[in-house]
Amino acid sequence: MKIKSAVIAVALSSPFVNVFAEELDSQTDTLPEVVTRSKRLKESTTGPIHKYKASQARTATKSDAPINETAQSISVVSSEQIRDQSVQTLADTLKFVAGVDAGQRGRRGLDDFSIRGFVQSDYVLRDGMRMFYDTAWVQAEPFGFERVEIMKGPASVLYGQTGPGGFVNVVSKRPTYQPLAKVGLTLGNYDQQQWTADVSDALNQDGTLRYRLVALTSESNDQVDFVDRSRTYIAPSLTWDIGDRTSITLLTSYQKSHYVPVRGLPAGGTVLFDRNGDIPFRRFTGVPGVDKYETEMTLLGYEFSHSFNDTFTFRQHVRYNTFNVDGTFTEYNSNLTSPPPVNNLSYTRRANVRNLSAQTWTIDNQLAAHFQTLGVKHDMLIGADILHYNMARTFANRTVTPLNLYQPNYAAAVIGAPVVVANSTGNDMAKQFGIYLQDLIKFGEGWNVQLGLRHDETDLVQTRINNTRTKSDPSKTTGKAGLLYAFESGWSPYISYSESFLPLTGNTADGTPFKPETGEQREAGIKYESPDHQFGTTFAVYDLKRQNVTTTDPNNTGFNIQTGEQRHKGFEFETTGQLTDRLNAVATYTYIDAEITKSTTNTLGKRPILVAKNMANVWLRYDLSGWAQGLAVGGGARYIGDQAGDAQNTFNVPSYTLFDAAIYYNTPSWRFALNARNLANKQYIAGCASINQCYPGDPRTVMLTANYSFK
C-alpha cells in the first residue's frame, strides 16, 4: 500500500483543505455573447458556457479532458441552455439528454431520473462529490448551477459507490473575473413567482480575491388541489488566487424548502379502464394540512489547488453537508387489501411520517502528474478519498380513513396517532475509504488510452430501536479501460469497459451478509466535434449488466437472496451545438432493451418498470436579430415511449409527446423570456411504480422572466 501511504502523507502535509477553482473563462452574461477562438481554447470546466456545446468535462476523468478524447459517453447541459429553457428543477435540466428519463414520478418534490434505464436518483454529485447516501429526499436548486454533467454507465473507479447507470454532477456557480450584478423576476401560472439575484466582484485591486453571492426565493401552487411549494436558496462563495500556482475557493450554500408532495393515482381511472370513469388529475389523495415536507440543507466546503511545477499538481476537495427532513405523505396502503381493490370509491390510505437528520463529510485528495516518456504523454492521477455519513431516522405510520377518489370528502378524514416503525427507526452509519489510479495516455497521431483502477474499503452499520444491528464491511476493486482515436477531421471512434459497485446492508436467512451489487458495461461509439468547437455529436452502443440484485428467497419469503440480474442493451444519439450562425440545436434519440435476466420471482424475463424502449427529444433556438435586434425564439418536442406499468408487466404506461416553446428579447441591460412547457396541456402519466401508484406528468406551465444587469 505504498501509493495509499504516499497520498495520505501529501494530504496531511498540505496546510489547506482542497478546492480546485479554475475559472479561465471569465466571461459573464453581462458581456456580449461573442466568443473569440482564444477564449474557446481556454474553456473552463467550472465556468459558464456561453453556447450549447461544451468542449471539456471534468466529471469523466477528474481532469480538464476534452470530451472528444474521452472514451465514454458524457453529456453536458450548459448554462446557456439552462437559461434558455427556464428550468425549475434538476429534472427539467435533464429532459433533453440522451439516455435520460427525468421526472418519471411526477412532482413529489424530489429529483427523480433514470440513466440508461436504471433509477439513479440517489447519485447526484455536487462539484464531483457525493451529496448524501440517500439523496431521494432532496431537490437541488438549478439557479445555483453553472453546468450539469451526466456520466453514463458505471463509474466507481473515480467515485466509489455508484449505481450502474451513471450519475449527475452539478457544478456550482463560482466567483467570476469580471464584475457581475443581476436581479430577476419570474411570474407564471399556478401562482408561480420567483425572485433571483446573482452578484460577483473583486474584493481587492488586483482581482486575486473575488466573491459571488447567488440567492433565490420562490413559491407556486400546482394543478393538484391543496398542493403548494416554496424555497429559499443562498450560496456565497469566495476565491483567493494565493499565487500564480495556488488557488482556493470556498463554496457554501443553504437551502430551505417546503412542499406538499404529489404521490400519484391508481392505474384504474388513469391508464386503465375504471367503471366509474376517469379520475381527475387534480385529485389530491392525501390529507390537507397534514401532507407536507420541510427540508433544510447546508453545504460548506472548499477546493484547493497547488502546482509544484509544470509536472505535479496537488488538489484537495473537502465538504461538510447537513440535511434535515420533517414531514408526512399519504399514499395507498397495500397492507390493508390483497389483491388491491378495483373500486376507487374506497381508496385505502396510510400516512407516512418521516423525520431525518444526516451529516456527511467528504474529502478527496488528488496528485496529478503530466509527463512524457519515449514520445508517450501521460496525464496520471493518484487519489485517495474518504466519506463519512451519519443519519438519525424516525419512521412512523398513521392510519387514515379511505377516500372516494371521484367524490372526495376531505373533512371526513380521520387520522390516527403516529405509530413508530421499530425496524426502520434508528441510526445509519457509513464509512468509505478508496484509493485510485488513473492514466490518460496519448501517443502517435491521435491514439488515446484510458486506464483506471480503484480499491474501496467500506463499513456499513444500521442500528434499530428494536435492538437489531446490521453490519457489513465489503471491499471491492474496480477497473476501467478505454481506447479512442482522434482524427484531425474531428471524428473520434472509441471502445471502453467500466465497472461499478454498491454495498448492501442486510443478510440472507442463514445470516450471510449480502455481497455488493456490481455493474459492468461494454461500450463502443464515435464522437464528432467541429473545428470551431461549436458543434458536436455522439453515437454510443452499450451492453450494461447489474448483478447481485436481491430477490425473494423462494424457500423463506421473509428474506432475500442475491440471484437477481438486469441487462440493459441499447444505443444513443446526441447532437448539440450551433448549426448556423443563428441556429442552436439539441437533438437526441435513445433505444433501451431492458430485461430482468435472473430472478426467483415471476419478474424473470420481464421489462423493468420506468424504462421506455424509445425516447427522442429536439430543442431549437433561432436568433432573429437580423429582423429585430435582440429577438430570438425557441421550441422543442419530447417523446417518451411505452413503459411497463408494474413489475409483472400486466399493463403498460402509454407513450406521450410534449411540445415546448419560448421567445426572448434582449437589450444591453434587460433580458425578457416567455417560456411555455407542455404547450398543448396534454394530460399524461409520466410513469407507474405499481398498479396503485401512477404519476401524472406536468401540466402546461407558462413563465415570464425579466432579468436586469447592472452595468
Dihedral pair phi/psi, residue 81, rounded to 5°: -65, -40
| Per-residue pLDDT at 613 exceeds 80 | yes
Q: Where are the beta strands (DSSP E) in 444-534?
A: 447-464, 469-472, 475-485, 491-502, 517-529
Residues 343-396 have pLDDT tens digits of 678 899 999 999 999 999 999 999 999 999 999 999 999 999 999 999 999 999
Instruction: For residue 294, give the amino acid letter.
Output: E
Identify the residue with better confidence: 208 or 263. Answer: 208
Distances (CA, A) of 142 to 150, 199, 664: 15, 16, 20
* 474 and 538, same domain (yes or no): yes
- Residue 466: alpha-carbon gap to chain centroid: 35
Quick check: is 325 in a domain? yes
Task: Quote the domain boundaries for residue 346.
Answer: 180-709
Check residue 442 and give its pLDDT: 96
Check residue 104 and give its pLDDT: 85
Minimal CA–CA distance to 45: which of 21, 29, 70? Answer: 21
* 616 and 517, same domain (yes or no): yes
Minimal CA–CA distance to 498: which of 544, 549, 547, 564? Answer: 544
Q: 481 - beta bridge partners?
A: 451, 497
* 212 and 95, same domain (yes or no): no
Residues 98-125 have pLDDT tens digits of 999 998 887 877 888 999 999 998 889 9
Identify the residue with better confidence: 446 or 136. Answer: 446
| Per-residue pLDDT at 412 exceeds 70 | yes
Average pLDDT over residues 317-332: 93
Minimal CA–CA distance to 219: which of 182, 250, 190, 255? Answer: 190
* 432 and 539, same domain (yes or no): yes
* 168 and 189, same domain (yes or no): no
Q: 387 - beta bridge partners?
A: 362, 432
- Cβ-contact 285, 405 below 8 angstroms: yes
Check residue 12 and give its pLDDT: 32
* 210 and 152, same domain (yes or no): no
* 167 and 184, same domain (yes or no): no
Mean pLDDT of the chain: 89
Check residue 263 and give its pLDDT: 87
Name the pLDDT band for 15 (thresholds 50, 70, 90): very low
Quick check: is 5 in a domain? no
Check residue 302 and give its pLDDT: 97
Residues 557-587 have pLDDT tens digits of 667 788 789 999 999 999 999 999 999 999 9
Name the pLDDT band for 239 (thresholds 50, 70, 90): very high
Check residue 13 and give its pLDDT: 35
Average pLDDT over residues 652-658: 97
* 584 and 508, same domain (yes or no): yes
Check residue 292 and give its pLDDT: 94
* 218 and 111, same domain (yes or no): no
Instruction: Choose one of 145, 172, 199: the last residue of a domain.
Output: 172
Check residue 29 and give its pLDDT: 38
Alpha-carbon gap, residue 494 to 485, rounded angstroms: 7
Instruction: Choose one of 111, 137, 172: the last residue of a domain.
Output: 172
Distances (CA, A) of 618 to 4, 140, 638, 684: 47, 24, 7, 19
Name the pLDDT band for 505 (thresholds 50, 70, 90): confident
Name the pLDDT band for 483 (thresholds 50, 70, 90): very high
**290-299, 414-423, 510-519: least confident range:** 510-519
Quick check: is 6 in a domain? no
Check residue 555 and give its pLDDT: 74
Instruction: Choose one of 119, 153, 172: the last residue of a domain.
Output: 172
Quick check: is 572 in a domain? yes
Identify the residue with better confidence: 684 or 34. Answer: 684
**Domains: count for the chain:** 2
The answer for residues whose C-beta is within 8 angstroms of residue 469's C-beta and 6 or more apart is 461, 462, 463
Check residue 557 and give its pLDDT: 65
Quick check: is 701 in a domain? yes
Helix (H) or strand (E) holding 93: helix 90-94
Distances (CA, A) of 576 to 54, 610, 617: 9, 26, 12
CATH code, domain carrying 268: 2.40.170.20
- Cβ-contact 26, 177 below 8 angstroms: yes
* 556 and 593, same domain (yes or no): yes
Quick check: is 630 in a domain? yes
Torsion of CA 672, 678, 679, 680, to 10 degrees: -170
Quick check: is 560 in a domain? yes
* 562 and 594, same domain (yes or no): yes
CATH code, domain carrying 125: 2.170.130.10
The answer for residues whose C-beta is within 8 angstroms of residue 484's C-beta and 6 or more apart is 69, 70, 71, 447, 448, 449, 450, 492, 493, 494, 495
| Per-residue pLDDT at 34 exceeds 90 | no
* 131 and 272, same domain (yes or no): no
Quick check: is 31 in a domain? no
